[in-house]
Structure 1
Amino acid sequence: MKELISKLKGDKGIWSFVALLALFSFMPVFSASSNLAYLGHGTGNTLGYLVKHFLHICFGFAIIFWVHNVPYHYFRGISKVGLPIVWVLLAYTLIKGTVIAGANASRWIQIPFVGLSFQTSTLAAIILFVFVARYLSKSREEPITFKTSFIQLWIPVFITLMFILPGNFSTTALIFSMVVMLVFIGKYPIKYIFIIIGSGVVMLAFFVLMSKAFPDSKFFNRVGTWQSRIENFTSNKADEDDYQIEKAKIAIASGQIYGLGPGKSVQKNFLPQSSSDFIYAIIVEEYGLIGGLGVLVLYLLLLFRFVVASHKANTLFGKLVVIGLGFPMIFQAMINMAVAVELLPVTGQTLPLISSGGSSIWMTCFGLGIILSVTKKEEEIAQEKLDKEKREEILQKLIDREMEADLEEADFKNVNDNFDAGSYSITDNSNNPMNAVLK
């Protein structure tokens, strides 16, 4: 175990908080999977879901370990090459998206031969954030112009979002807001940011108008879901989403301060998506306000380590990569919690590292691996600097000793020469090294 831990490089705080969140996830997932175990005339055995989640977590940590050993500057080129590949995957998802549990799941594709589903937008978000960080970190001799940046930066961003929007509005909004935050931190001109935000609003409005013109098109069939969720959030109209929120609020209210205890949730049997989208409500029901605040504190501590890691990075690309990949994880967690307490409408965002699901865990771990690669590089630089200082200190001591030895040898040689010549004398100069020798 010590040998394994010694191979974990990078920020130890990030490693610790990620491990704590992953370890904590087993009990809520095991408990909340009971409704899935009974779904479709199941046996009610949740052990299979626990094993499945365990394998997802193990593979996720293997991804972190592998990625964090890759020099992070390699991802500069990977993002440029990977973005067109992501566009192809997103387009394929729109056309061949699968249907899960009778609902429109055009955000998912099936991986051949392994029977796993994969959410392509999660991979697209990571590649896009690294691509934006790469553009902002490029050295420029001339100031940024809107025309050049629109072609090189914003057209790829809008193409990516265009493919994600029809199937997943909440993810599109999250990615767009994080990109805006990233370019603001990267000192992109503010006047251009307002133009881009205005352009995004216009494009979204145009998309909604097109959905009204072609209501039967599969390309626009999610627009009605967005509208109903917003309307239900701002009114008392009841539907399936309102049912989920009500059950989540009952679960949270039942938890009180200390909770009902691990595995003793009642609402997990009635709350859809209790092991993924609404797992935070189950956590509060079983572990109470203390457990809910504990999870929140872990995410905030992880955010703090991201800030520290970004501050320590000695390159602009490293700083922006940590911010671009780390902050969205925390914002996604906050959105998930806010939905559970009805501060936001239902979005379908999972709780990173805690909710069940393969691709969401793996892509979160992929992003964490890149962040740890940045911190690993900074540790290596700091260690090299420390080693260099130690070498210089040792070398200086050796030089000083050598000089002292040479001086003593020269003093004795002068004394011997004077003895041989029979012309030595002790003067009153106490600083004369020959006097010290003669004495």
Structure 2
Amino acid sequence: MIRLARTNRSQIAEWWWTVDKWTLFALFCLMLIGGVLALAASPAVAMRIHLPPFHFVYRQLFFFVPTIAVMIGVSLLNVRQVRRLAAAGFLIAFGLMLLTLVIGPEVKGAHRWLQIGPLAIQPSEFVKPSFIVLASWMFAEAQRTPGFPGTIIALALYTMVVGILAMQPDFGQLMLVTMVFGAIFFMAGLSWRWIVSLGTVAIIGALAAYTLMPHVASRVDRFLNPDSGDTYQIDRALDAFHTGGFFGRGPGEGEVKRILPDAHTDFIFAVAAEEYGVVAGLIIISIFGFVVMRTLSRAMEEQDLFVQFGACGLVALFGLQALINMSVNVDLIPAKGMTLPFISYGGSSMIALGYTMGMLLALTRRRAGSHVTPPNGKRAYA
């Protein structure tokens, strides 16, 4: 039996004493909530499509195992290994994204998935965190090494990613990647020229998507004018919040899960609010908020620019995805099929979240000298 004393120099013991245990605990809490809500939301969905009642529950619990293994395994890495993993992960996942355009099945007019045996994989879920880490590396190197074209490389990577997302098409993921990339670029000290240029490109891109993509225009139109189209799912989600009240209708007593096609994925937050009330919703929001604020606090203490940019970018990816999902549920933004991290049902997306948060935990681990600036004012990279 391994004793995790501070004098123990094993890799596991070192990890235990350096990892952010509060963030790790919060992530396990989200998984626990996801398991409970899978029991609440998924049986009705499974029976509606003629599957065994606990089909999605068993699959959710099954995917928790590799997700935790990936998260813990990646969090054991050092900073240099995180960068190498991100580079390898990006090359593999980006190649798979290209394959989706060729051999990926069409689902609701989009080619985003690859069927590998019994497992459906969405490569973009793995590209996002890998890209964020690589972009952070490039921005940090651009500041550390005068003349290094880090900003240009980061912009090239961004163009590659959003180009494929636009062709799939996956406008929601495109917007999410753009927001996170913009946040890292802002942290890296972009000039007003870049702000104006990128802002103009973003506006042109949004207008082009609205003009050229009918499903994007339809969602925006229905959000601005509910009478212009079908708003059934949003209406039922809002009904769930109204009927749930402060303390909810009680476990198993919700109605929205019986009539919403995506009750176990996109609208699981509404199921939680109906059965467990506003209190449950506030608890979920608080846990996500805690992970974000805790990570930002630890990143601010770092002297390594790559660690700062990477940790902030990864937690922004995590937090913005949660914010988008919950905002759609309460009709604050146009509808977008985006899952609630660690709570919504998912297979490859769940494992990708483990990969994302594993890199986050690896970057925010306490390391000897990580909070001390050397005499020359520049911190050497691990």
For the superposition of Structure 1 and Structure 2, which TM-score range results when normalised by the shorter chain?
0.7 to 0.9
What is the aligned partner in structure 2 of residue 201 from structure 1?
203
Whichever residue aligns with residue 24 of structure 2, its letter is W
User: Higher relative contact order by CA 8 Å / sep ≥ 6: 1 or 2?
Assistant: 2
Q: Does 1:65 align with 2:72?
A: yes
**Which whole-Å deviations, capped at 9, do the CAs of 1:182-219 have from their partners, x for residues lacking one?**
1111223232132123234335555666x4xxxxxxxx
Shift of 1:239: 4.1
**Structure 1: gaps (5+ residues):** 212-222, 385-439
- Using the alignment, how far apart are the partners of 2:29 and 2:87 within structure 1? 34
What is the aligned partner in structure 2 of residue 230 from structure 1?
220
What is the aligned partner in structure 1 of residue 97 from structure 2?
90
Whichever residue aligns with residue 40 of structure 2, its letter is S
Q: Does 1:39 align with 2:80?
A: no
Q: 1:23-422 alignment to 2 at 5 Å? A: 23-43=32-52, 45-46=53-54, 48-100=55-107, 103-111=108-116, 113=117, 115-138=118-141, 139-142=143-146, 148=149, 151-166=152-167, 167-203=169-205, 205=207, 211=212, 223-237=213-227, 239-240=229-230, 242-376=231-365, 378-381=366-369
Q: Secondary structure at the match of 2:340?
A: coil
Residues 59 and 295 of structure 1, relative CA distance in 2, 3 Å threshold: same
- Using the alignment, how far apart are the partners of 1:203 and 1:243 within structure 2? 28
Whichever residue aligns with residue 184 of structure 2, its letter is L
Q: Which moved more, 1:3-12 or 1:171-180?
A: 3-12
**Which whole-Å deviations, capped at 9, do the CAs of 1:246-304 have from their partners, x for residues lacking one?**
11011111100100112221110001210110000000001101111111111111111
- Using the alignment, how far apart are the partners of 1:327 and 1:150 within structure 2? 20
Shift of 1:2: 9.5
Residues 262 and 2 of structure 1, relative CA distance in 2, 3 Å threshold: farther
- Using the alignment, how far apart are the partners of 1:320 and 1:304 within structure 2? 15
Q: Secondary structure at the match of 1:130?
A: helix
Whichever residue aligns with residue 36 of structure 2, its letter is M
TM-score under structure 1 normalisation? Answer: 0.76
- Using the alignment, how far apart are the partners of 1:381 and 1:190 within structure 2? 34
Identical pairs, percent: 24
Whichever residue aligns with residue 188 of structure 1, its letter is L
Q: Secondary structure at the match of 1:354?
A: coil
Whichever residue aligns with residue 192 of structure 2, its letter is I
Q: Secondary structure at the match of 2:248?
A: coil
Q: Secondary structure at the match of 1:362?
A: helix
Q: Which moved more, 1:174-183 or 1:34-43?
A: 34-43
Residues 99 and 203 of structure 1, relative CA distance in 2, 3 Å threshold: closer
- Using the alignment, how far apart are the partners of 1:315 and 1:350 within structure 2? 32
Whichever residue aligns with residue 338 of structure 2, its letter is Q
Whichever residue aligns with residue 157 of structure 2, its letter is P
Q: Decide whether the 8 Å contact of 2:94 with 2:124 is kept in 1.
A: no
Shift of 1:375: 2.4
Residues 90 and 383 of structure 1, relative CA distance in 2, 3 Å threshold: closer
Residues 3 and 326 of structure 1, relative CA distance in 2, 3 Å threshold: farther
- Using the alignment, how far apart are the partners of 2:76 and 2:174 within structure 1? 30
- Using the alignment, how far apart are the partners of 2:214 and 2:48 within structure 1? 27
- Using the alignment, how far apart are the partners of 1:55 and 1:383 within structure 2? 39
- Using the alignment, how far apart are the partners of 1:351 and 1:204 within structure 2? 24
Q: Secondary structure at the match of 2:109?
A: strand
What is the aligned partner in structure 1 of residue 29 from structure 2?
20
- Using the alignment, how far apart are the partners of 1:202 and 1:296 within structure 2? 33
What is the aligned partner in structure 2 of residue 10 from structure 1?
19
**Which whole-Å deviations, capped at 9, do the CAs of 1:326-365 have from their partners, x for residues lacking one?**
1111111111111111001111111001001012211111
**Structure 2: gaps (5+ residues):** 5-11, 373-382
Residues 80 and 379 of structure 1, relative CA distance in 2, 3 Å threshold: closer
Q: Secondary structure at the match of 2:79?
A: coil
Q: Secondary structure at the match of 2:33?
A: helix
Q: Decide whether the 8 Å contact of 1:182 with 1:320 is kept in 2.
A: yes
- Structure number, greater radius of gyration: 1
Whichever residue aligns with residue 23 of structure 2, its letter is I
Q: Aligned-residue CA RMSD in angstroms?
A: 2.5
Whichever residue aligns with residue 91 of structure 1, its letter is L
Q: Secondary structure at the match of 2:266?
A: coil
TM-score under structure 2 normalisation? Answer: 0.87
